Amino acid sequence: AKQLHEHQSEVKEKIGQLENRIKNVQERIDEYNEEIDSLNAELHEKRKKLDDISANIDGFTENIRLSSGQIEENQKRIGANSRRIQELDDERSALQKQLAAITEDIVTELDAKLKDAGYSSAANRKAKEALDTVLERIKIFAAGRANIFRDFASLPSHPEKDAAQFGADAVQAFTDLAGMLAELSAAVDGYTKTTPQFIDEFLSPEGIITRKRGIDASIQDNLSRADGIRQESDALAKANGELNKKINEYKDTLAKLRINQAQMAQQITSGEQQVSTLRKTLASEESSLRELQEELYEENKRKEEADEQIEECEEQIAELEEKGIAITRELNVLDKQIQECNSKVSGKQSLLQKKQEEKNKYQARLEKLSVDIAQNETEIRNVKQNFQDNFSRDLMEFEERMYKITASSAELREKLSLTKQRIQELGQVNMMAVEQFAEEKERYERQQASFDDTKKSLDNLTRVSEEIRTKSSELFLDTYNKIRRNFHNMFRRLFNGGRAELRLVDPANVLTTGIEIYAQPPGKKLVNISLLSGGEKTMTAVALLFATYQVRPSPFCLLDEIDAALDDKNVTSFGESLRAFANVSQYIVITHNRKTVQCASSMLGVTMEESGVTKVLQLRLDEDTINGRVSYGSDDDFVEEDVPPEEGIVIPPRPPRREHNPDGTLKESAENTTQAPSAEKEDGAAKIQGENAENVDTIQAPAAEETVQEDGAH
C-alpha cells in the first residue's frame, strides 16, 4: 500500500508536470498563431500596396504610351505644317513675281497714258488754284449774305422800304451767286481738263490697280496663314517638349515604382517564408502538444489504475483486519479453554513442579539462547538484506575477511558509525560503480578518441575555412580593384570626362559587404547613382557592364532596350563601346533606336503581317557596309587613370603554415594535443581503494562518479 501511495504521488507529480508543459506549449501555440495572424495582416496590406503599385505602374505606362502617341501625332502635324508653310512660301513667291510684273505694267501704262493725255503738272496746279479761289469767294460771299439775312431777321419790325430794298439786295445776291457758280463750273471744267482720264480705268474693278490690290491682299493673307501655321508648329513643338519632360518624369517615377514593386514583392516573399517557418514550428508544437496530451491521458489512466489498486488494497487490509479480530477472538476462546485445562491438570503439576522448575531453568536458558540465536540470525539477515539493498552485493562474498577481524564489536560499531557518517558525507553511492567504471572508462576512451579526431577535423576545417576566406578576400579585392579602375576609365570614355567610384559599404567584411556606386558626370558633383537622371543611370550601368567584361568577359550578353533613356550623343558613345567589345563577346541588343541598329553586324526583325502569324526577318551586314555607315572615334588620345585604393579594407590573416610528415599526414603540434585524464582518474581510484580494503565497495563509488562527471564534461 505504501508503494502504491508513493507510485500515486509520482503519477500525480508527473501529471502536474505534463499539465504545466501542455500549458507552456499551448501558450507558445497561441503566440505563434497571433504572430502568424499579424504577419498575414501585414502580408495582406503589402499585397494591397503591391496591387496599388502595379496599378500605378500600369497607369504611368499608359500615360507614357499616350504621351508618346501624342508626340508622334504632333510631329506628324509639325511635318504637315512644314510642308504647308513651304507651299505657302512657294505660293507667296509666285504672287510676289506677279506683283512685280503688274507693278512694272502699271508704271509702263501710266507713263504711256500721261504722254497720250498731255498731262502737265503746272497746268493742273494752276487749274486747282483757280478752283480753290472761286470756292473761297463763294464761301466768303455766302457767309456775308448769311450775316445780312440773319441781322435782318433779328429786327423786330421791317419797314416796307427796307423790305423792298432787302428783296432787291437778295435778288442781286442770288444773281451774283449765279455768276460765281458759273465761274466755279468753268474752273471745274478747267481742272477736269488738266486731270488724266485714265485713272478711272486703273481704279475700275477690272483695272490694273485693283488687280495689284488683290495680289497685295493675297500676299498678306499668305503671310498671315504662314504665321498662323508657324505659331501652331511652335506650340506643338513646345507641347512635345512638355510631353517629353513629362515622359521623363513618368519614367523616373516608373523606375522608382518598379524598385518599390520589387522591394515589396521581396518583402512579401520574405513574409510568406516567415509565415511558412512559423506554420512548421506551429505544426511541430501542435504535434508536441498532442504527444503531451496522449502522455497525460496515459498518466491519468495509470493514476486511475493506481487509485483502483489502492482501493483494492485498502479493501484487502480491511478484510485482513476483520480476520485478525476474528482470530483474536478465537485465541481468547482457546486461552480460556487452556486455562480450564490447566486448572484440571493443576493437581498433576504439583508432582511435576520440581522437575518443571529444573525444566524451566533449562527452558529459560534454552529460550534465552534461542532468543539470542533468533536475534542474531534476524540481525544477520537484516544486515545481509540491508547490505544487499544498499550496496547490491552479497555480504557472504566477504566471509573470509570476517575471520581476520580482531577488533571488538564496540570498535567495529564505532568504525561502522564513522564509515556511515563518511558515506553520508559523500552522498548517495552507486554500488554498481565498479562495473560501471569499466564501462564508462571504455566509453570515455572511445569518446576521447572520437573527440580527438573531431577536434583535429575541426581544426583542419577551421584552417581550411580561414585559408578559403583569406584567398577569397584576396581574389575578390583583386577583381574588385580591377573593375574599379576599369569602371572609372570607361565612365570617362562614355561621358568624355568626370569620374566614377565603387565603394564597399563595410570594408572590414569584404565577403559580405554591399557595393555602392557613385558617379560624377562633367559639370556635376559626385553623387550616388540613385540621384542621377535616367540617361546618366543607363550610361553609368553600361560603364560598369563593360568594366566587368574587361576583367572577365561573358560568351554573350543580352541587352533589352538599354538605350531607351539615351539621347543621340550617348547612343553614339554606347555604340562605339559596343563595337569595341564585340571582338570578345557576342551582344544581342533589343532596341528601337536607329543609331543603335547601325552598330549591328546582323539584324533580326520580328513582325506580324497576319494576325497570329509571327515572321522573323534576318539581315547580315558586311564589314564594309557597317564601317561605311558608322564612324567610330579613336582611343589614341585617351589616357587611362589609376584609381587610389579604397581605405579601411581588412583582409583576414592567413593561418600558420601546416607541416606534413613524410607519409603525408599533418604533424601534431603541442597545442593541439589533448591529454586524456582517464589514467590519472584510474590511478586515483586505485589509491583510494588501497587506503581501506575493508570498505572498498563504499570508497570506490565517489571515484567512479567523479570519472563519469569528467567524461560528461568532455
Which of the pair, 206 or 183, is modelled with greater confidence? 183
Rg over alpha carbons for the chain, rounded to the nearest Å, is 65
Report residue 360 as a C-alpha cell: 524451566
- Span 298-311, pLDDT tens digits: 888 877 887 787 77
Q: Is the pLDDT of residue 278 over 50?
A: yes
Mean pLDDT of 198-222: 69
- Among the residue ranges 237-251, 581-595, 598-612, 635-649, the one predicted with the least confidence is 635-649
Given pLDDT bands bounded at 50, 70 and 90, which one contains residue 712?
Answer: very low
- Span 162-190, pLDDT tens digits: 666 666 666 676 677 677 777 777 767 66
**Beta carbons of 40 and 202 less than 8 angstroms apart:** no
Phi, psi of 207 (to 5 degrees): -75, 165
Mean pLDDT of 652-670: 60
Q: Is the pLDDT of residue 248 over 80?
A: yes
Q: Where are the alpha helices (DSSP H) in 352-391?
A: 353-391
In this prediction, residue 553 carries a pLDDT of 86
State the DSSP string of 670-687.
Answer: GGG----THHHHHHHHHH
Mean pLDDT of 69-95: 87
Which of the pair, 371 or 634, is modelled with greater confidence? 371
Percent helix / strand / coil, the chain, rounded to 5:
75, 5, 15
Report residue 242 as a C-alpha cell: 512638355
CA-wise closest residue to 60 among 252, 212, 265, 328 = 252
Q: How far apart are CA 114 and CA 58, in angstroms?
A: 81
Q: How far apart are CA 200 and CA 706, in angstroms?
A: 146
- Among the residue ranges 182-196, 315-329, 449-463, 542-556, the one predicted with the least confidence is 182-196
In this prediction, residue 156 carries a pLDDT of 62
CA-wise closest residue to 532 among 166, 235, 248 = 248
Which of the pair, 390 or 204, is modelled with greater confidence? 390
**Beta carbons of 485 and 544 less than 8 angstroms apart:** no
- Among the residue ranges 55-59, 369-373, 485-489, the one predicted with the least confidence is 369-373
**What is the separation, in whole angstroms, between the first and last Cα of the chain?**
44
Report residue 346 as a C-alpha cell: 493443576
The residues facing 602 across adjacent strands are: 620
* Domains of the chain by residue range: 2-98+210-344, 122-195, 468-629
Q: Is the pLDDT of residue 600 over 70?
A: yes
Instruction: Spell out the residues 6+ positions from residue 567 whose beta carbon is closer than 8 angstroms to its own.
Output: 535
Q: Is the pLDDT of residue 371 over 90?
A: no
CATH code, 2-98+210-344: 1.10.287.2610
In this prediction, residue 286 carries a pLDDT of 85
- Among the residue ranges 109-118, 341-350, 570-579, the one predicted with the least confidence is 109-118
Given pLDDT bands bounded at 50, 70 and 90, which one contains residue 635?
Answer: low
Q: How many CB atoms lie within 10 A of CB 11?
A: 19
**Beta carbons of 102 and 215 less than 8 angstroms apart:** yes
State whether the Cα torsion 446-448-451-455 is positive or negative. negative
In this prediction, residue 396 carries a pLDDT of 75
Average pLDDT over all residues of the chain: 76
In this prediction, residue 309 carries a pLDDT of 77
- Span 516-543, pLDDT tens digits: 999 999 999 999 999 998 889 998 999 9
Task: Classify burial at 681, counting beta carbons within 10 Å of its beta carbon; exposed 0-12, middle 13-18, buried 19 or more.
Answer: buried
Given pLDDT bands bounded at 50, 70 and 90, which one contains residue 661?
Answer: low
- Span 391-404, pLDDT tens digits: 677 777 777 777 77
Given pLDDT bands bounded at 50, 70 and 90, which one contains residue 257?
Answer: confident
Superfamily of domain 468-629: P-loop containing nucleotide triphosphate hydrolases (3.40.50.300)
Share of the chain above pLDDT 70, in %: 73
Which of the pair, 460 or 712, is modelled with greater confidence? 460
Which of the pair, 312 or 531, is modelled with greater confidence? 531
Mean pLDDT of 694-709: 35
